[in-house]
Amino acid sequence: MTDHPTSPVSRPAVPTTGAAVPTAGAAQGDVTRLTAAATAAAIAAGELSAVEATRAALERIAKVDDTVHAFLHVDAEGALAAAGRIDQRRAAGEPLGPLAGVPLALKDVLATRGMPTTCGSRILEGWQAPYDATVVTRLRAADVVLLGKVNMDEFAMGSSTENSAYGPTRNPWDTTRIPGGSSGGSAAAVAAFEAPLAIGTDTGGSIRQPAAVCGLVGVKPTYGAVSRYGLVAFSSSLDQAGPLARTVTDAALLHAAIAGHDPLDSTSVDVPVPSVVAAAARRDVRGVRVGVVRELSGEGYDPGVQAAFAAAVDTLTDLGAEIVEVSCPHFTYAMPAYYLIAPSECSSNLARFDAMRFGLRIGDDGQAGAEEVMSRTREAGFGPEVKRRIILGTYALSSGYYDAYYGQAQKVRTLISRDFAAAYEQVDVLISPTTPTPAFPIGAKVDDPVAMYLSDLCTIPSNLAGGPAMSLPVGLTDGLPVGLQIMAPTFADDRLYLVGGALEAALDDRRGHPLLDEAPAL
Amino acid sequence: MGITRDEVAHLARLARMSVTDAELDALAPQLEAILSAVARVAEVAAADIPPTSHAVPLTNVFRPDVARPSLSAADALAGAPAAEDGRFRVPRILDPDE
């Protein structure tokens, strides 16, 4: 497959980026191919109803999700009811938000009233949260239509979505391959046109890596920009929710909808949300200083990934950006530091799954004591990767090893932040490939945790230092998408959208169509 | 630094998580491999480097001390494995001989 669109339907006669109102009745084309911006514009113009958009998404899910397995729970009734209310309010002339009526897939790690929240784990099978996460509250307030909950690696631990207790999700580009993880269901749903938007979470790359291998735009906002209230914690100092979308503008619209200070999360920062939507539309990177990170290249990086990345760097040069090579010497220690810090925080956070207040309880026969019930429940309820990380974290935090492992990892975290600070004295943004390789076959790394962990080599530094980062699609290698990562200083999330928007527009122009048009029909 | 099968069993006990013999057989070499991959953190971090626990540190985060709606008892208990008389019902927490 090279440059010929093989999509099952013709592209709608509406802009795929930007918020222009479609001219020729959007409802006549395939609504599921519309961007979020175009869907919202068509609904605002009265050319499409929210119910029609929702029904189209639900029909698409019914058609392809047996193959893709992105969804763990589809709330057709709730979604159609919400869409109906939005249509009524539009008809009554009430003002609606910029994403009103747009369907969305929600990662199953966010507490959601009226739907299960499983975190991809047996230990929470069938559990319903008694409250909404702040991200969910904001989406509902923005009149976004929640289609349901999507698959993920158990408790967001993994890079392939193979660690879900409910079976793997498949990559829509090649259904024998992984969709990335841990937000693999979010990425697969958007890439398979089941939803124009999805929410993921990113602790070490769990939004950006799935976005990269599924040919999408994915953003980890600055730590603290999006509330973690109701986001089931894996590694509290690293976890951050963010958007997955087919275009930079769509990601910006979703970013703007969910970001902002929340008194319910004490780590939420009280600073204004950067103007990400305006930045996405600017399309001008003349004079922007772009640093290519020397340490995130070379050995272990797939030649096809390197070639697509190099071509994108050339495009940025053509657009007038100033390309500089930058060294961040401690980035090579980011993966080791991460796999001490994240398991340590995980072993503490997952102590709450104690079989007492919610979720699974095994072995409560009236004789067994609480500790025995707890131990048997955790054995039955957690999968292998979660067990590995709980034990690893317990080890790294135990007296005698604490200084050598957790303490040292926290010092490396300081050194990585200093590398970023030094780099941003020279450049405005940093770039690298998002992942060293394209999507690998399902099962290829499932028994080799260290090989799996290398998927996150390029994405982890931003989690450790807190800065925002985006992955956007820049090409294909052997028919599989390649992502480019843009990193920016904390609170400068708009720079991601400025550079990403310009690069996306140039690449789409050159190609003549969005990359996702080249995905095979499902 | 190695990690033995017995150590893994001890750590699992500390984490209140039963593990089968088969799991121990698989976990010990996997954890060994992970630890040898992460031990490199010792190479760079010197004594004069302060640790970072949080990328965007905030201090003294308070909310106004005012009452606000909270979960009802029924909502809080709705997902409980067992409840009784408006409370969580848990297995015994003391040894029967005590």
User: For the residues B9-19, what does the mean pLDDT come to?
Assistant: 96
pTM, rounded to two decimals: 0.94
Over pLDDT 70: what percentage of chain A?
95
| pLDDT tens by residue, A67-108 | 999 999 999 999 999 999 999 999 999 999 999 999 999 999
pLDDT number for residue B86: 93
Distances (CA, A) of A348 to A225, B16, B24: 24, 12, 21
Which residues 6+ apart lie within 8 Å of A377 measured at CB?
A123, A353, A354, A355, A359, A360, A361, A362, A363
A6 vs B: CB within 8 A: no
Does A38 fall in a domain? Answer: yes
Residue A163 has a pLDDT of: 97
What is the structure's pLDDT at A1?
34
* Strand-pair category, A197-202 with A322-326: unpaired
Closest-CA residue of chain B to A342:
B53
Res. A15: pLDDT tops 50: no
Average pLDDT across chain B, whole number = 90
Range of the domain at A92: 32-330+414-518
Q: Is the pLDDT of residue A447 over 90?
A: no
**A6 occurs within a structural domain:** no
Tell me which residue in A129, A336, A449 faces B41 most closely, judged by beta carbons: A336
Residue A119 has pLDDT above 70, yes or no: yes
Contacts of A510 (CB under 8 A, 6+ apart): A315
Residue type, A209: Q
pLDDT of residue A411: 96
Please indicate whether residue A182 is annotated as part of the active site.
Answer: yes
Q: Report yes or no on A318 lying in a domain.
A: yes
Instruction: Determine which one of A121, A186, A206, A347 is catalytic.
Output: A206
Query: Is residue A206 flagged as an active site residue?
Result: yes
Residues 6+ apart with CB under 8 A from A393: A342, A343, A344, A345, A346, A347, A348
In a domain, A375, yes or no: no
pLDDT bin (cut points 50, 70, 90) of residue B1 is low
For this structure, is A348 an active site residue? no
* Higher local confidence (pLDDT), A370 or A2: A370
All residues of chain B having their beta carbon less than 8 Å from the beta carbon of residue A379 are: 17-20
Model pLDDT, residue A24: 40
Q: Confirm whether A341 is domain-assigned.
A: no
CB A244 within 8 A of CB A210: yes
The region, left, alpha or beta by phi > 0 then psi within -120 to 50, assigned to residue A120 is: left
Pairing of strands B87-88, A103-107: unpaired
d(CA A339, CA A357): 29
Predicted confidence at residue A29, as pLDDT, reads: 77
Q: Which residues of chain B neighbour A382 with C-beta distances below 8 Å? A: 17
Strand partners, B84: B87
Domain annotation covers residue A366: no
What gap in Å lies between CA A459 and CA A204, rounded to an integer? 6
**pLDDT for position A509:** 97
In a domain, A296, yes or no: yes
A347, A390 Cβ separation under 8 angstroms: yes
Per the structure, how many domains does chain A have? 1
CB-nearest partner of B3 from A372, A378, A395? A395
Kindly tell me the burial class for residue A348, based on how many C-beta atoms sit within 10 Å of its own C-beta (0-12, 13-18, 19 or more): middle
> Residue A418's pLDDT band (boundaries 50, 70, 90)?
very high
A104: helix, strand or coil: strand
pLDDT at A325 over 70: yes
pLDDT digits (tens, 9 = 90+) for A184-196: 999 999 999 999 9
Residue A161, domain member (yes or no): yes
Mark B70-96 as b/e (b = at least 16 C-beta within 10 Å).
Answer: eeeeeebbebbbebeeeeeebbeeeee
Residue A14 has pLDDT above 60, yes or no: no
Query: How many residues appear in chain A?
Result: 522
Q: Looking at this predicted complex, what is its ipTM?
A: 0.94
CB pairs < 8 Å spanning A and B: 187
